[in-house]
Amino acid sequence: MIIRPILYDIKKTITSKTVLILIAIVLLISLAIIPLTSIGSTGPQNKLFQAPILYYHDVNLGSYHYLAYFSNRYGDPISGVTVTVILQGPQNYTKTIVTNSSGLAFVGINAPNASYYVTLKEETPGETFSMTLPPTASIKTTVSRAVLALSGQVISTVVDKHNASKSDVQVFYAGDYGVVPSSYSLYYKVVATPFYCSGSCLTEANMTKLGDLNNYRDVFDPSIPSGLSDTDEVFFALFNQTGSAVQSSNFGLVELRHPRQPVMESSIASFFFSTILGLVIPLMAIIGSYSSYGKDRLTGVLESVLARPVTRLGLATSRFLSSLIAFTIASAAAVGVVDLLLNSIGGSFLEQSYVLAIIAGLLVEVAAFTGLIFLLSHLLKSTGALLGISIVFFIVLDFFWGLIILLLTRLLGGTPGSAVELQSTIYSDFVNPAQFLAVINVYVFGTLNGIPIQPSDYGVTLSTIVLVGLVWAVAPLLTFLYLAVKRD
Amino acid sequence: MIEVKQATKIFSSKQGPAINSVSFDVKNGEVVGFVGLNGAGKTTTIRIAVGVSLPTSGTVLIDGHDMTTEKAEASKSVGWVPEIPNFEPNAKAWMLMRYLAGFYGIDRTEATKRSKELLASVGLSGFENRKIRTYSQGMKKRFSLGVSLLSDPQNFLLDEVLNGLDPEGIHFFRELMRGQKRVNKAILLSSHILTEIENIADRIVFIHRGHVIKTVTREELRAHEGIKGVLRIILQNPDEDAISYLKTLGGDLQVQRNEIVLSDFHGDSSQVNAELVRKGIPVREIKYEKTGLEEYFFDLIKGADARR
């Protein structure tokens, strides 16, 4: 018997004008991720990903050659980057080349053999970068045609396009005289640390082949097997046609599986979820709960339903559930829209577990605020009082909470960025349902107010988050149900 | 059948109980008037009886089901029309009725059909698609009555339903109550005006300051010496035949031109009218009034106050 009223109430709540408007607003707000992404793209995390500058000196012809490759953080080539190489010596030489569609810029300067200071400039719209390369005289090569990497590593990591939580391996290299490499192969080996390599431990024979390098650059998916320790390391080596290792690099397993720093999407998403959705969802829950229950109860409209064959507990539960389901669907839809937009802009979805954690966090926030407004509607006597107190609640918990805690901490002697201040912030976030997403972000990203922290040192563990989430989701609900059943 | 047993409601410990140990019953096929001044406790009692308010102590049984502990079962056989119906103002009438029908387990198709039929039966045909907020008070009462009929309940609790209605509305409600009584329904009808319900109620429960101070049957009320019925008849031609018939009805007869006043009349005015017509005596107007009812009511109240 209770199912039908619940279904009726869910439909009634979801299709009510107020809720539809709120859902539309939330979905529209989720589009704000687009400008945020473009703001993020000009920030340091999205600058050009530059592979090493390759260099060789053709002594016979009397020319200096520089080969540069520019990509985004996924390793995709970026064309149109202006690369200028300036040689300063007995005479100055300058040459400018724009990267082609493969992201490559071949800069060859005919200059007599001499000692030159080398400067390299990169220019993209809105960004100029300059770096000093080693002077030509300092580069000793046994074979003048051989290619050397002047900056960075030939074997580097890039973000996996299809799974931003792991990294791929990018190799950028050239054969003698800067020709397209042929018959080069990349090998890898997982080793437990500490790893001591003496002599020829990195050979094709005791490593696993990952693939051949048939172009200046290529990206390889190491497909690290599961069941390894996070402290293990992966060694990569590039072998030439004679089986000699020409380049090698090693990365921690953790780095390959999870980027040390949150990738751009995660960073923007965490900001968006905790700051914007964290603000809008409680507001939606407050207005929606007022509209679907508080107003009906305080104006007496609910009595016209209570007079039907339904128990007080049944009616209260159905109204709560219908509000919770409606607002959770809206929240999850907003998260989904954000994830889709981030994918279409940045090329990768957010990590699934993070998305689920955010949806669970929003569910807790919705449940907490819905429960609180339902509860308040049993304690207050008028719709005006309910609306007024709800708005004050929202403003204090969402806008001024951080400031209040900051002032209190300072009054108690806490200094900016001190452990006391960080601990106070964490504790205050635990007791404020509007900050629940912020707590999840602290746990996931290990930063608080931009300061890297070890979450468990401040009591932010999976178990405390689950416990606090359960308390916020259940305590207001149970109190509300008690009042709804036991009091008029 | 509605049984109110020792119902007490205390809203605030600073004030006395709104109702105190109120007990009475309404049997099937009976209309019980529930009379008291404003604030006497009528609405509080009815709200407890329909389950929208909880008693501090005592119980209300609806067809044997406790309204507090077996709310869903008890509410199935209750139709409630409050004094001021309060429905979702922005809902369209038939949609709201269909929504409420869902609580009675009526499927969607049947609910839609029944909603439209009931709205027509309470005189709201043509207003089904209008929002409740556009309804007048009388229309809201009719709508509320329609909702109360959704499940064809055995018991009706009508709280001051005749208040604020036009004569046509009053007639409509009275006829409806008579019809429901004929099909053995139990009806509790509250009012603060005794004369309003005296001629329809089989019994009257008087409540004052939260206490039931008296319960009387219609016969006991009519037999009370201070209460007299006055029948005023205007005939086109008051001839001997008419006068001699009216004298047989008892009481004092006064004839002034074509108006005949029959004091201390205790019969049924509609039967008198029917008999006159049957005798071929044209009746211009026939009006029955009771005197002494208000005095009786106030005497009861004074007596109750004196005893306190």
CATH match of B228-291 with 3.30.70.980: yes
The predicted pLDDT at position A60 comes to 80
Q: Give the start-to-end residue ranges of the domains of chain B.
A: 2-218, 228-291
Q: Which of A299, A305, A311 shows the shortest C-beta gap to B72?
A: A311
**CA of B69: which chain A residue's CA is closest?**
A311
**CA gap B117, B179 in Å, rounded:** 17
Cβ distance A8 to B102 less than 8 Å, yes or no, reads: yes
Per-residue pLDDT of chain A (488 residues; tens, 9 = 90+): 456 666 766 777 777 788 788 888 888 888 877 776 655 443 333 456 777 888 888 888 888 899 988 887 778 888 888 999 999 988 999 999 999 988 899 999 998 888 899 998 888 766 778 888 888 888 776 666 778 887 778 898 887 777 666 788 899 998 888 889 888 999 988 887 777 766 567 788 888 888 999 889 998 888 777 667 767 888 889 998 888 888 888 888 777 765 444 445 567 777 888 788 888 888 889 988 998 899 999 999 999 999 999 899 988 988 898 889 888 888 888 888 888 888 777 667 787 888 899 999 999 999 999 999 999 999 999 999 999 999 998 999 988 988 888 888 888 887 777 888 888 889 999 999 999 988 998 888 888 877 778 888 889 999 999 999 999 999 999 999 999 999 88
The predicted pLDDT at position B75 comes to 95
From chain A, the residues in CB contact with B56 under 8 A are: none
Instruction: Please enumerate residues of A whose Cβ is less than 8 A from a Cβ of B.
Output: 1, 4-5, 8, 12, 17, 296, 299-301, 303-312, 314, 486-488
Beta-carbon contacts below 8 Å between A and B: 63
Instruction: Please enumerate residues of B whose Cβ is less than 8 A from a Cβ of A.
Output: 47, 50-54, 71-73, 75-76, 78, 80, 82, 85-90, 99-100, 102-105, 147, 151
**CA gap A289, A367 in Å, rounded:** 10
**CA of B82: which chain A residue's CA is closest?**
A304
Which pair of structure tokens corresponds to residue A389? 């107190």
Cβ distance B52 to A309 less than 8 Å, yes or no, reads: no
For residue A105, the SS3 value is strand
Q: Can you tell me the ipTM of this complex?
A: 0.85
For residue A107, the SS3 value is strand
CATH match of B2-218 with 2.40.110.10: no
Strands (E), chain B: 2-9, 19-26, 31-35, 57-62, 65-66, 78-81, 155-159, 186-191, 203-208, 211-217, 228-235, 252-256, 259-263, 283-291
Cβ distance A310 to B100 less than 8 Å, yes or no, reads: no
Cβ distance B53 to A488 less than 8 Å, yes or no, reads: yes
**Neighbouring-strand partners of residue B22:** B7
| Greater model confidence, B193 or B74 | B74
Could you tell me if residue B34 is left (phi over 0), alpha (psi between -120 and 50 degrees) or otherwise beta? beta
**CA of B75: which chain A residue's CA is closest?**
A309
From chain B, the residues in CB contact with A488 under 8 A are: 53-54
Q: How confident is the model at residue B57 (pLDDT cuts 50, 70, 90)?
A: very high
